[in-house]
Amino acid sequence: MVDVGGTVRLRHLVRDAAGDPADPATATLRIQLPDGTVVTPGVTLPSDDSGLLEHDFVTTAPGRHVVSWTTTDPATAYADVVNVVDSEWTAIVGLADAKRHLNIPATDTTDDEELRGFILSASAVVEDVVGIVARRTVTETASGGGRHIILERPPVLEVAEVLVDGQAVDAGDYTWSPSGLLARRSGVWPCGLRNVEVMYVAGKSVVPHNIVDATLELIRINWRPQAGGNYSAFDGGGGDDFGNGGLEASLQGNLRLGFFVPNTVIQRLQPDQRGPVVL
């Protein structure tokens, strides 16, 4: 996993027709950034290690980067993707907490990068149940025509800006609630299709202990296959402690965003489960 501002080492091993490593006559590296622009950093030839081309790329923006290598004599082509994580880091729990919950020694860093990605995925599952937890800035558009607009990613901590047809609306002309209800003080929002743009801060200032606990437990249960063998989230092994009654209890739950979410996790999240916004 690569964070914004971090350095990722890009590699391409060039092989000739016989399959042996070989330094090419020319090499081109092309990196398409998340905004669609392309950079072509220089590549040092010959390589320090026969056929192995390397470039240390310093990331500056979050998102998907498409990396393309091409060489001549021998002619090769190789493409890859590097996903760079947003600096807002929308994880509910930290790496140290997750490792403690998994009984992984702090000094064992073997799986740290994989686990960090896993933490982000598990956090997304929890937020799918309770709404946004990790504080972040959200920009969304809505259609006018009524007095109320329902923001899609509550809880709302602050509304920073509202634009209607590109024009800023005075903060005194509207009210908002933590549940995501944006109301015009007088009249209605001007009619239009996706003509109201709202920038707001969403999340929880203090994360309740039940959400932290549920996130850690969700990570533990779904990390089980990484232990190897058939040690899966769905088995009913005697060493399992997230259900009572063996296999039957262990299967009580559902799939959510690709994660197995047992009822014990849902029950922990129930006090904060998001409900409908009432107009």
Neighbour count for residue 202 (Cβ, 10 Å): 23
- Over the chain, what is the mean pLDDT? 90
Looking at residues 252-274, what average pLDDT do you find? Answer: 89
Digit-coded pLDDT (tens) for 42-81: 999 998 899 999 999 999 999 999 999 999 999 999 999 9
pLDDT value of residue 228 = 62
At 245 the pLDDT is: 46
Domains and CATH numbers, the chain: 2-85 (2.60.40.10), 90-132+207-224+252-273 (no CATH), 136-202 (no CATH)
| Per-residue confidence (pLDDT) for residue 66, from 0 to 100 | 98
Residues whose CB is less than 8 angstroms from the CB of residue 34 and which lie 6 or more positions away in sequence, other chains included: 61, 62, 63, 64, 65, 84
User: Would the pLDDT of 239 be above 80?
Assistant: no
**Residue 131 to residue 202: CA distance in whole angstroms:** 9
pLDDT digits over 177-190, tens only? 999 999 999 899 99
Bond prior to 155 in cis (omega within 30° of 0): yes
Cα separation, 260 vs 256, in Å, equals 6
Give 109's contacts (C-beta < 8 A, 6+ positions apart).
none
pTM of the shown model: 0.78
Higher pLDDT: 275 or 271? It is: 271
Buried b (16+ CB within 10 A) or exposed e, 8-43: bebebbbeeeeeeebbbeebebebebeeeeeeeeeb
Q: What is the pLDDT of residue 254?
A: 85
Average pLDDT score over residue span 130-137: 94
Q: Which of 192, 187, 145 is nearest to 166 (CA)?
A: 192
The distance of Cα 43 from the centroid of its chain, to the nearest Å, equals 31
| Close Cβ partners of 227 (under 8 Å, ≥ 6 residues apart) | none
Task: Give bridge partners of residue 27 from the DSSP assignment.
Answer: 71
Rounded to an integer, the average pLDDT of 237-244 is 46
Confidence of residue 126 (pLDDT cuts 50, 70, 90): very high
C-alpha 147, offset from chain centre: 34
Distance of CA 149 to the CA centre of its chain: 27
Q: Confidence class of residue 248 from pLDDT cuts 50, 70 and 90?
A: very low
Largest CA distance in the chain: 76
